[in-house]
Amino acid sequence: MGFKTGIVGMPNVGKSTLFNALTRTAAAQAANFPFCTIEPNTGEVSVPDERLSILSEIAGSKTVIPARMTFVDIAGLVKGASKGEGLGNQFLANIRECDAIAHVLRCFDDDDVTHVDGRVNPIEDADTIETELMLADLESIEKRLKGLVRKLKGGDKDAAMQNDLLERAKAAIETGKPARTCYIAEDEEKQWKLLTLLTAKPVLFVCNVEEDNAGEGNAHSAAVAEMATAQGAASVVISAAIEEEISQLEAEEAGLFLNELGLQEAGLDRLIAAGYELLSLQTYFTVGPKEARAWTIHKDTSAPQAAGVIHGDFERGFIRAETIAYNDYVECQGEQGSKEKGKMRAEGKGYKVADGDVLHFLFNT
């Protein structure tokens, strides 16, 4: 199960620098001119989770495999992108394929780094991109509504639901609100996702600040945090320059560097954790002497669906899941100790996997 987050923003806000740090590569060219990222760069990153190391140590696992998230560095956006200005058409197509948006905002002052609009105002930058996404959604909605006319006349139930959802999204956008503010019932979620509206995607605002403000942020990031709260969104303060430097260091050196800067943890760890929360994701583990592995699932995922993340046959032939809560596994020092103390449970098809569960699936082939 892959989860893809698009890194978006105006040109020269630090998107590619952040991407380089995330993927610990220099794959994305970071340059001081607009549109230096033309083709979207894609990279997978490990999700930091100290529980996996603890579990692997208890089990004596030879191999440790963390959960992964995919990040995509997408070309910078300018006003008029919804009408094809700059690299607008490509930008919109790339972001449509992502599950969530990490919206990088320039929250630093630096005369040596140009701004496409000649000023530093993260709130206006956020409004520019949101407006372009709304305009693109409105155009898409109008086309879809016209395409549903014939099906509606034929009494197609799915078309009727899509029509209702599109009208709701249109009404929200026309009042200046993104589609994600619409209430969507559980039985409507499947059709809602099929609409692939840009402003329906969850958004995390990433405040790229100067090195000196990496810990507490600055006036710019404070304004973004206030805006995010008003929108029911989240924000993270990060210094992309620091993170790129850290990414080139060994783990021990990186820790010392963070201590020197007075930082408790890398900003990237906070960013990935925030992305996990944004997408309502959680982790379960499979642990043994050969391998300890973290698996990513949505919250409220059933045991058979969780098994299907490993292999489709596991879900189709699911019998039960032998389940140990993370804390029990650690307290009992492994699977055998958990069994002896009655902490291993047999869970059936209706079980909703909890974050941190250590699972072993039984299934028919």
Residues 314-327, buried b or exposed e (16+ Cβ, 10 A)? Answer: bbeebebbbbbbbe
Among 125, 15, 276, which Cα is nearest to 6's?
A: 15
Most confident of 228-237, 262-271, 311-320: 311-320
Work out the number of other CB atoms within 10 angstroms of the CB of residue 217. Answer: 21
- Long-range contacts, 65-68 (Cβ 8 Å, 24+): 65/291, 65/292, 65/293, 65/294, 66/294, 67/283, 67/294, 67/295, 67/296, 68/2, 68/44, 68/296
Where in the chain are the domains? 4-278, 300-363
pLDDT attached to residue 29: 39
The answer regarding whether domain 4-278 maps to CATH 3.40.50.300 reads: yes
Render pLDDT for 69-122 as a digit per residue (tens, 0 to 9). 888 888 765 555 445 544 445 667 888 889 899 999 999 887 665 555 566 899
Q: Which helix (H) or strand (E) holds 27?
A: none
Answer with the residue of higher pLDDT: 318 or 10. Answer: 318
**Residue holding tokens 């404070």?**
222
Please tell me whether the overall predicted TM-score, pTM, comes out greater than 0.75 for this model. yes
Taking only the tens place, the pLDDT of each residue in 32-53 is 444 344 455 788 888 889 999 9
Reported as a single tens digit per residue, the pLDDT across 325-351 is 999 999 999 999 999 999 999 999 999
The listed CATH number (1.10.357.10, 1.10.150.130, 2.60.120.620, 3.10.20.30) that belongs to domain 300-363: 3.10.20.30
SS3 26: coil
Q: Do domains 4-278 and 300-363 have the same CATH topology?
A: no
Contacts of 169 (CB under 8 A, 6+ apart): 137, 141, 179, 182, 195, 197, 199, 200
Amino acid at the residue 69 = M
Neighbours of 96 (CB within 10 A): 14
Q: Which residues are 12's β-sheet partners?
A: none
What pLDDT, in 10s, does the model give residues 174-187?
999 899 889 999 89
Percent of the chain with pLDDT over 70: 88
Give 47 or 28, the one with higher predicted confidence.
Answer: 47
